[in-house]
Structure 1
Amino acid sequence: MSNVDWQGKRVTVAGLGVSGIPAARVLYGLGAVVTVVNDGDDERSRAQAAELEAQGIAVRLGDGDTLPTSTELVVTAPGWKPGKPLFAAAAEAGVPVWGDVELAWRLRGRDGREPAPWLAVTGTNGKTTTVRMLASILEAAGLRTAAVGNIGVSLLDAVLGEETYDVLAVELSSYQLHWAPSLRAHSAAVLNLAPDHLDWHGSMEAYAADKGRIYEGNRVACVYNAADPATEDLVRAADVEEGCRAIGFTLGTPGPSQLGVVDGILVDRAFVQNRQKQAQELAEVADVNPPAPHNIANALAAAALARAFGVEPAAVRDGLRAFRPDPHRIEHVADVDGVSYVDDSKATNTHAAEASLAAYDPIVWIAGGLAKGATFDELVTGCAKRLRGVVLMGADRALIREALTRHAPEVPVVDLDRTDTGAMSEAVREAARLARPGDTVLMAPACASMDMFVNYNKRGEAFADAVRARASESA
């Protein structure tokens, strides 16, 4: 498909936005006859449509369910649900549906250059951190690379731009994988699996199956989490190239064909000459920033993919040392009166919050927001012994409070009956009142933020601002 003649091909792009608009422009530039369809018809959509129409691209606003006549291909934004009438109409007409990732994959090598291999990462949590760690390791090895996909540089820019790469570190969501049937990575990792986005996928089985697409056709390594058997099951089910290996990562002592941890050292028993008897030291746990258990797991997954690409051990160490995490991911904000304040606003589901809560003890936990259909009994049961106290806020805080009542009745709970953005300052004050020197006040909400904030970044900024204000008062 990289050599297909796009001239005159009638392509429908589903959705205006961060993926739809670039896809429309790229396809139009290749000579396709492009029509963009969009559900919304608001002021922002009209402004975007006007820009595209000025370039010669047709746009239909408020009509995202109708397949334009003579459509030969649909390219969809990843967030559009598979059950939309547009896709049913495409299936009935025999019209293929691609996502922007599939389009980028098909356009690789169009300029005659050898396409850069993809090292791909998915999972319920930890994708962005792992991909950025991987890019840092690849850069330390002297390779031309970029973190792309659901992060950083767009895949279309990466495969069609003037910049040339030796290898790409690719973050892929379950949405993107659903619409990428022909993707074949050099090596790939599924970090973990936990219920998420089930309203989009319809079931946990469908969600897992879309995650598992990342392993299809892998050439060198399928990296899985030894502590999460569901990820290994996906490897077993995948149709890979002859010689592709299953590589596990574990926070314990690794077996053959695994990476793991021994006496504070990250070690490799997969990419060594005699993996039955030998292990290669890669880095120290102290080289991982921050060295929380789930982040060490991220580092091991990134190291496994880099080693699958032939990266030397020293580059793994140097890349991990150079890596700096993104904001709002178990980010230490300040110490005030002997209490550590940590922002993990990115913990928007129970699985992410569980990993964060496991990294500290004792904890005053700030939680709540939009639950997205989640339940909290298992989360509370697992962390109850670590809790000094809990401060709840947000629209669905009652669900967490009820789980605390059932499984941690002795833990003091402050329930903030307000959903305005100023509630964060009160939450920090209440958490400080509950905390003792040596404790950690951890904001790991286990919920989405949109009931009170534009996104998790704004929620994290509000927490950090409130903590810094308290530090100023205490100084």
Structure 2
Amino acid sequence: MSPDPVLLAGYAVANQAVGAQLTERGHPVVAADDAPDDRALSHAGELGINLRERPDPEAWLALVANARVMVPTPGLPERHPAFGAAAATGTPIVSELDLAQRWDSRPTLAVTGTSGKTTVTLLISSMLEASGIAASVAGNTETPMVEAIRDPRPAVFVVEASSFRLGHSRCYRPAVGAWLNFAPDHLDVHESLASYRAAKASLWARAAGGTTAVVNRDDPVVAAHAPRRGRVVEYGLGEGDHRVSGTRPAAWPGGEYGAGEGDYRVSGEALWAGSTELVPIAELRRSQPHELSNALAAAAVAMAGGAHPDGVRLALRQWVGLPHRMMLVAEHNGVRYYDDSKSTTPHSVRAAVRSVESAVLIAGGRNKGLDLGAMAEIAGRLRAVVAIGEAAPEVQEAFARRCPVVVATSMEEAVSSAAGLARTGDDVLLSPGCASFDWYESYAQRGDHFAHLVEELIGGSR
């Protein structure tokens, strides 16, 4: 990139890391933010970056017109005036992934999808490390990619690639790219479902002879977007079996541990990579259907990145899951209580409910512009629903006349109501299908509060 002005549209964690890298490399930088906090103002001041506060649409037009390139902060809504200004002036837009790839030549293994990204990303990293390959996790995490490349240790980067980053990438091309699944999400950021889908699909837009696409053949949207160039490797549980046509790897990058047709699957109560058995399901600590799918995806990506089957096996056997992802909080009087607070879409709620036999569901929060009616298809597995938060009326409407629904005005009331509705053998699931920002600062805070209240409830009943 030439030393011309770069505009950072938004100045939170990712663009602060971009700003630091750009200034170190001699690029003049201007930043603008609609609501900068004290940290942003301090950070910009330390770097000597001119941070414009709360520009109006005309000011955005001038800022973009005077920039050679614009780097939007991940999650900046597509309706934001900065994008309209870029379109009007013809100013190119690049992502932090583009910049990191320009500045560092080490390979990246990228994972996108509506749900499961964090789990699969961390599993891949564990598989690589267990195979003796130094790996670093970056992207839609606490460490932006442009910050991760400062570390000389990793031989490879495992990137959690959100639609927010992919949608604005112009040249990013991972060595291995996995698309896990697709369902409506982030319609508070993307202009339409088509825009969200296009952002995900851009993961494979620049596939070439040396790249590998890991495709979930159970998901028809993912399968339909499989690239025609590069290697294509399939995985799945056989639920949809939307097989794709593409270039099959004649020889797997891992050499003698090749997976034949690139088929990662469940067979005979075990996970398989082609003709290689990876691990019996009985040896896994997490074996719900979506967990098995995540495990197969991680194995496919890790082995494409050079992981050894023994390293994959070790990581799978040790995997205990992540906080706030279908984590068992407690069991009392034959009822299990699960914290699935990370669930912020109807798609993830459906996956959680399908993993149990009978549940009382706690759902709601701040809707992200999604159709919560999509949750209705799992009503047959629900004894009742407790609706919470701003979206409680939408949750009520989704399950009306399908199963009993009660409304709770606090998490305390929700836990108490769910416990009263549950029967022996049921599971109480906090799987909200919505963001947490109506009542909480994060999904983690929401999950922690739920777990605390469950422990209090159980403790008080002993």
Report the equivalent of 1:155. Answer: 145
Matched, 1:231 2:231: no
Matched, 1:188 2:177: yes
- In the alignment, the residues of structure 1 paired with residue 362 and residue 161 of structure 2 have an alpha-carbon distance, to the nearest angstrom, of 29
Identity across the alignment (%): 34
Matched, 1:336 2:332: yes
AA aligned opposite 1:456: Y
| Alignment of structure 1 residues 430-449 onto 2, 5 Å | 430-449=417-436
Cα deviation digits, residues 90-129 of structure 1 (max 9, x gap): 3444432112222212211xxxxxx221111000111011
Cα deviation digits, residues 400-448 of structure 1 (max 9, x gap): 2223223x2xx333222x2xxxx21221122111222221111111122
Matched, 1:314 2:310: yes
Whether the 8 Å CA contact 1:392–1:401 is kept in 2: the answer is yes
**TM-score (ref. length: structure 1):** 0.87
Whether the 8 Å CA contact 1:366–1:443 is kept in 2: the answer is yes
Q: 1:252 deviation in Å?
A: 6.2
What is the aligned counterpart of 1:22 among 1, 11, 17?
Answer: 17
- In the alignment, the residues of structure 1 paired with residue 8 and residue 372 of structure 2 have an alpha-carbon distance, to the nearest angstrom, of 39
| Alignment of structure 1 residues 76-91 onto 2, 5 Å | 76-91=72-87
Whether the 8 Å CA contact 2:363–2:388 is kept in 1: the answer is yes
Cα deviation digits, residues 37-75 of structure 1 (max 9, x gap): 11126xx25x53244224321111111623436421212
Whether the 8 Å CA contact 1:136–1:319 is kept in 2: the answer is yes
- In the alignment, the residues of structure 2 paired with residue 99 and residue 295 of structure 1 have an alpha-carbon distance, to the nearest angstrom, of 30
AA aligned opposite 1:194: A
Report the equivalent of 1:136. Answer: 126
Whether the 8 Å CA contact 2:187–2:370 is kept in 1: the answer is no
Report the equivalent of 2:26. Answer: 31
AA aligned opposite 1:268: A
Q: 1:152 deviation in Å?
A: 4.2
Whether the 8 Å CA contact 2:93–2:170 is kept in 1: the answer is no
Helix, strand or coil: the match of 1:198? coil
- In the alignment, the residues of structure 2 paired with residue 55 and residue 116 of structure 1 have an alpha-carbon distance, to the nearest angstrom, of 27
Matched, 1:168 2:157: yes
What is the aligned counterpart of 1:462 among 449, 452, 455?
Answer: 449
- In the alignment, the residues of structure 2 paired with residue 221 and residue 376 of structure 1 have an alpha-carbon distance, to the nearest angstrom, of 35
| Alignment of structure 1 residues 202-281 onto 2, 5 Å | 202-218=191-207, 219-235=210-226, 238=227, 240-241=229-230, 244-251=231-238, 256-269=261-274, 279-281=275-277
Matched, 1:60 2:52: yes
AA aligned opposite 1:56: G
AA aligned opposite 1:187: V
| Alignment of structure 1 residues 68-147 onto 2, 5 Å | 68=63, 70-108=66-104, 115-147=105-137
- In the alignment, the residues of structure 1 paired with residue 142 and residue 40 of structure 2 have an alpha-carbon distance, to the nearest angstrom, of 22
Helix, strand or coil: the match of 1:467? helix
What is the aligned counterpart of 2:322 among 322, 326, 335?
Answer: 326
Helix, strand or coil: the match of 1:97? coil
Helix, strand or coil: the match of 1:429? helix
- In the alignment, the residues of structure 2 paired with residue 174 and residue 150 of structure 1 have an alpha-carbon distance, to the nearest angstrom, of 10
- In the alignment, the residues of structure 2 paired with residue 388 and residue 317 of structure 1 have an alpha-carbon distance, to the nearest angstrom, of 38
Whether the 8 Å CA contact 1:15–1:37 is kept in 2: the answer is yes
- In the alignment, the residues of structure 2 paired with residue 31 and residue 180 of structure 1 have an alpha-carbon distance, to the nearest angstrom, of 22
What is the aligned counterpart of 2:375 among 371, 376, 379?
Answer: 379
AA aligned opposite 1:61: E
- In the alignment, the residues of structure 1 paired with residue 131 and residue 386 of structure 2 have an alpha-carbon distance, to the nearest angstrom, of 45
Change in Cα spacing, 1:162 to 1:392, as seen in structure 2 (3 Å) is closer
Helix, strand or coil: the match of 2:129? helix
- In the alignment, the residues of structure 2 paired with residue 77 and residue 211 of structure 1 have an alpha-carbon distance, to the nearest angstrom, of 17
Q: 1:284 deviation in Å?
A: 2.2
Q: 1:22 deviation in Å?
A: 1.4
- In the alignment, the residues of structure 2 paired with residue 390 and residue 445 of structure 1 have an alpha-carbon distance, to the nearest angstrom, of 11
What is the aligned counterpart of 1:412 among 393, 404, 420?
Answer: 404
Q: 1:239 deviation in Å?
A: 5.7
- In the alignment, the residues of structure 2 paired with residue 84 and residue 473 of structure 1 have an alpha-carbon distance, to the nearest angstrom, of 50
- In the alignment, the residues of structure 1 paired with residue 325 and residue 48 of structure 2 have an alpha-carbon distance, to the nearest angstrom, of 42
Whether the 8 Å CA contact 1:332–1:340 is kept in 2: the answer is yes
AA aligned opposite 2:132: G
Gap runs ≥5 in structure 1: 109-114, 270-278
Cα deviation digits, residues 292-313 of structure 1 (max 9, x gap): 1111111110011112223222
Cα deviation digits, residues 238-287 of structure 1 (max 9, x gap): 3634xx22423335699943211112200112xxxxxxxxx210112244
Whether the 8 Å CA contact 2:79–2:191 is kept in 1: the answer is no
Report the equivalent of 1:275. Answer: none
- In the alignment, the residues of structure 1 paired with residue 82 and residue 412 of structure 2 have an alpha-carbon distance, to the nearest angstrom, of 45
Helix, strand or coil: the match of 1:208? helix
Helix, strand or coil: the match of 2:376? helix
Gap runs ≥5 in structure 2: 244-260
AA aligned opposite 1:14: A
Whether the 8 Å CA contact 1:338–1:438 is kept in 2: the answer is yes
Helix, strand or coil: the match of 1:452? coil
- Aligned pair count reads 438
Cα deviation digits, residues 190-214 of structure 1 (max 9, x gap): 1111111234322222211110111
What is the aligned counterpart of 1:282 among 278, 282, 290?
Answer: 278
**TM-score (ref. length: structure 2):** 0.89
Q: 1:167 deviation in Å?
A: 1.4
Change in Cα spacing, 1:316 to 1:152, as seen in structure 2 (3 Å) is farther
AA aligned opposite 1:440: D
Change in Cα spacing, 1:343 to 1:400, as seen in structure 2 (3 Å) is same
AA aligned opposite 2:406: V
- RMSD, aligned α-carbons: 2.1
